[in-house]
Amino acid sequence: MDAVQISHVTKTFGSVTAVNDLSLAVPQGSIYGFIGPNGSGKTTTMRMIVNIFYPDCGEIRLFGDGRPQNSADLIGYLPEERGLYQKMSVQALLEFYGELRSGRSVSAEVLSWLERLELAGRASAKVETLSKGMSQKVQFIATVIPEPRLLILDEPFSGLDPVSADAIRSAILDLRRRGVTVILSTHDMHLAESMCDYILMIFRGRKVLDGTLSSIQDQYGEDTIRVTTAGGLAALERLPGVEQVRDLGQVQELRLTRGADPQDVLRALVAGARVTSFSLVKPSLHDIFVRIAGAAAVEESHANA
Amino acid sequence: MRTHKVLTIARRDYVATVRTKAFLFGLVVAPILFGGGSIGMSMLKGGPDLKDRHVAIIDHTSLVAGALVSAAKEKNDQELFDKKTHQQIAPRYVFEVIAPAAGSSGQLLALSNRVRSRQLAAFLEIGKDVLQPPKDSGDADEAASEKTDPDTRVSYYTNAGGIDEMRTWLNGPIRDGVRLARLVRLGIDIQRNPGLSASVPIDGLSLLERDEKNGQVHEARKRNELEGFFVPFAVAMILAMIVMVGSAPMLQSVTQDKSLRIVETLLGAVTPLELMTGKVLGSVGVSVTSSLLYVIGGTVAVNALGIAGLLPLTIIPWFYAFLLTDLVMLCAFAAALGACCSTPQDAQNLAIVLLMPCLIPMFMLVTVLRQPNGMLATVLSLAPPFTPILMLLRQAMPSGVPAWQPWAGLAGVLVFAAGTVWAASRIFRVAILIQGKPPRLAEMVHWALRG
């Protein structure tokens, strides 16, 4: 049974179509990553799953037959734009959110999560006294109490320092191991590659990629060469069969034109410079994202990562 | 709608508000401000300005001034001292009779300057024909010309501002003086009939009532001016104050939740209608808490002051019925307006719109107090946005209202409040996630009607 089943959903705001005929199945217990440039429809899709927005047409079902309006208590939602009641104490705030969703006291769970994310010492502190990283951890705890079956996290790592990001990443993976389904959106392609079982890319409201990372990469084949040469970037100019060169610093990435033979490229390289490493790889998610959305979207994506 | 979610939101908002210093401060300060005004008024009333009032009289009849001074002295003697304590409680009126001069305007200007320099409080000019009784000719033009002819009138000159008590006080002696002078002119010896100008006191009494339990008829009691004015005014003002103090923070609260990005987190757990209902309930709870304290405090105070009989206890259930419906109506309205704002500045600009249903009836209080059962008062008090304040005001007056009117008013308010909550929830649902420029009125109406 899929945790989320989206069938031909469309959502418009005035003359803008935010989501266009989107269909998607999120298997239970998986981590599904939503990627796409800003304004592509990721947040709108998430809001429709949480029942904040209603689809204009199409249908969303949760855990089989459940409609979003009847399944709110199964979902933990961390919005991209998030805030907390500043004057409340951390513990009172978390108990409020937990009770709001479950209808029961969640004091024990609150203490356990505070302990786990190293915030136990700040339980009685007012939210306004917390650092940004601490606040984001508190927001995450508010989302996961009391153990929802479906977690929807809109940009959960944006603005987090590496230590806090690691703590939350670890908590998400642990929840997945306990059977929780996770949908998260991110601009960090490396994170999506390393963390997500499935990846959905939305572009201008339409689904353009959907599947596991390897299945997505298979669509593009092994058309990428990673190379290091003694001559650096200059040695890679005017190579036959190469349509794009991407400088990653210590390594350069070459994208082959359709039908080009990697052996011809290697021969041309060796003829002009000393090659220290050469490997034929599938395109990275970042590369695929660029091919679909264009360079401008990538720059925007980097700025938000 | 899931009750536990609504109540959880309501409880958080309630606790968050009643724990704030602003709430506790307001709880203490509002009655002090409100009561302080009344106490200040009564203190001023208890300690009037007892300085002598010097009044000059130019008498063109040569007869009226003497009689006027005599009538004034008689009135002054009766009122000047408290009969029990023998302390002076009213100002003494001192008259200066001045013969009319040939150049009338020069004399009037000189006296005006004396008033300006505070040597005089006022001066009177008695027209030469005031002793002629008005003609009853039936000719409208002639009667009108007589009314505007200064010779047939007494002119009162002063620069007193505000409510001129001196003019009110002088009314009686002037009329008595003119009438006595007319009697003298007719040859009646007023020295031998000193009671001719004596004023007759009028007692204000309430209506008689039959006790429904034992059938006895209760005697009429002396009416206090507080009963007719202050008590209804105070009851209506307390209602308006609680509703305004209770609903205005809702506007800020919703805007703050929106601008701090708290709303979307909440909407992940509750529907917009549940969120709005919870916030409205929390706000109503805060207002009921403060109103209970005010009502209990007020009841204790009027008992301690011995004026408990003036407070119609039957009004209290109506007070709460109108308070609750008015609060629900305005808090829902405030939630919808707050959802349309993105910044506290936007909310501040819309606060006046929110308070209109309270401010308009407050502007109409005096009109309704003057004619509580007039057409305007009746129609306004049956208009749902204004019903709570104006109907309660009319109910608290001794004249009361026909029995059907409060029920009709309450029914109208309930229907209107339900409509307001319905429309507000639709606006709230759409507007709460929209950032940026506040929507136009037409957009809000569209959301309310079409969702």
Counting residues of chain A whose pLDDT is more than 70, the rounded percentage is 96
* Chain A partners within 8 Å of B274 (Cβ): none
Low-confidence winner among A3-12, A72-81, A114-123, B118-127 (lowest mean pLDDT) = A72-81
Counting residues of chain B whose pLDDT is more than 90, the rounded percentage is 17
Q: What pLDDT shows up at residue B391?
A: 93
Q: What is the ipTM of this complex?
A: 0.79
pLDDT band for B7, please (50, 70, 90 cuts).
very high
- Taking only the tens place, the pLDDT of each residue in A151-195 is 999 999 887 888 888 989 999 999 999 999 999 999 888 888 889
For the domain A2-217, what is the CATH code?
Answer: 3.40.50.300
Q: What pLDDT shows up at residue B147?
A: 64
Instruction: Please give the average per-residue pLDDT across B144-159, as a whole number.
Output: 80
B434 Cβ under 8 Å from any chain A Cβ: no
Q: Which CATH architecture has domain B50-192?
A: 3-Layer(aba) Sandwich (3.40)
* Chain A partners within 8 Å of B266 (Cβ): 100
| Top-confidence range, B202-211, B226-235, B342-351 | B342-351
- Taking only the tens place, the pLDDT of each residue in A234-245 is 888 888 888 888
Q: What pLDDT shows up at residue A19?
A: 93
CA distance B434 to A146: 29
Report the C-alpha dihedral over residues A160, A166, A170, A176, rounded to 10 degrees: 50
Question: Taking the CA of residue B388 as centre, how many other CA atoms within 13 Å lie in the half-sphere pointing to its CB?
Answer: 31
Q: What pLDDT shows up at residue A4?
A: 92
Low-confidence winner among A224-228, A299-303, B251-255, B414-418 (lowest mean pLDDT) = A299-303
What are the φ/ψ torsions at residue B53 (nearest 5 degrees)?
Answer: -105, 110
Distance (Å) from the C-alpha of residue B256 to the closest C-alpha of chain A?
10
- Does the distance separating the beta carbons of A76 and B268 come in below 8 Å? yes
Q: What pLDDT shows up at residue B253?
A: 84
B128 Cβ under 8 Å from any chain A Cβ: no
Q: What pLDDT shows up at residue A81?
A: 78
- Taking only the tens place, the pLDDT of each residue in B395-410 is 888 778 898 999 999 9
- Does the distance separating the beta carbons of A99 and B265 come in below 8 Å? no
- One of 3.30.1380, 3.40.50, 1.10.3470, 3.30.70 is the CATH number of A222-281, namely 3.30.70
Chain A interface test: which of B12, B257, B258 (most A C-beta within 10 Å): B12
Q: What pLDDT shows up at residue B309?
A: 66
pTM for this entry: 0.72
Distance (Å) from the C-alpha of residue B391 to the closest C-alpha of chain A?
39
Instruction: Please give the average per-residue pLDDT across B11-36, as a whole number.
Output: 78
pLDDT band for A126, please (50, 70, 90 cuts).
very high
* Chain A partners within 8 Å of B261 (Cβ): 79, 81-83
Q: What pLDDT shows up at residue B124?
A: 92
pLDDT band for B139, please (50, 70, 90 cuts).
low
Query: Where exactly are the structural domains of chain B?
Result: 3-42+223-450, 50-192
Of A69, A82, A97, the CB nearest to B261: A82
Question: What does the mean pLDDT of chain B come to?
Answer: 82
Chain A interface test: which of B13, B267, B275, B279 (most A C-beta within 10 Å): B267
Query: Where exactly are the structural domains of chain A?
Result: 2-217, 222-281
- Does position B113 have pLDDT exceeding 90, yes or no? yes
- Taking only the tens place, the pLDDT of each residue in B66-84 is 888 888 888 888 888 887 8
